[in-house]
Amino acid sequence: MLQRFYPDQEADSAYEIDYEGLYRRGYRGVIFDIDNTLVPHGAPADDRATALFERLRRIGYGTMLLSNNKEPRVKMFHEGVGSPYIFKAGKPGRRGYETAMERMGTTPGTTLFVGDQLFTDIWGARKAGLVTFLVKPIHPKEEIQIVLKRFLEKIVLFFYHRNLRKQGTVKN
């Protein structure tokens, strides 16, 4: 039952993923959550985010920002990185992910998703058939409803990591 929330991969940061290697494996689009995935909650795009999106464009990726936030917040971040966006995405519903792929001209088999929350980001992306990367939240300060979800995420991640250890795919 908990497997529906398990990410395909984990990374310390969205900035440390081997996008070049993934491109060589056939991936052509990357959908990103914004808050606590690319920048602290509510922050504008910084130099690191801008450089990442420039790098992704040079590699050949299409990108899309997918956020449950309202448009002013998402648009502010978009203005710094130049990536198209979908606001009020309704994550974990599938429709936002599907719309993002339609706009990028990609399919579930050629699209990656990068986010920091299991119950919205990862679960929704998995329902849409995407390969998922769970990254560590950038900043510990979060809204109360997210703090409560983080507690439940720790339980899911405990079982996820235990399962990986049993399979021998993670070091203790």
Other CB atoms closer than 10 Å to residue 23's CB: what's the count?
A: 16
Tokens of 93: 């519903």
| C-alpha dist (Å) from residue 2 to 40, 137, 155, 158 | 28, 21, 10, 11
In CATH, what number does 7-139 get? 3.40.50.1000
Q: Where in the chain are the domains?
A: 7-139
Range 8-13 average pLDDT: 95
Which tens digits make up the pLDDT trace of 109-166?
Answer: 999 999 999 999 999 999 999 999 999 998 766 665 666 677 778 878 888 878 888 8
* Continuous H helices in the chain: 19-24, 47-59, 71-81, 95-104, 123-127, 144-167
Phi, psi of 64 (to 5 degrees): -150, 135
Would the pLDDT of 172 be above 60?
Answer: no
Question: pLDDT by residue (tens digit) across 22-77?
Answer: 999 999 999 999 999 999 989 999 999 999 999 999 999 999 999 999 999 999 99
Q: Hey, is 98 helix, strand or coil? A: helix
Contact criterion met (CB below 8 Å) for 107 and 29: no
Inter-helix orientation angle 47-59/71-81, to 10°: 70
Contact 17, 132 (CB under 8 A): no
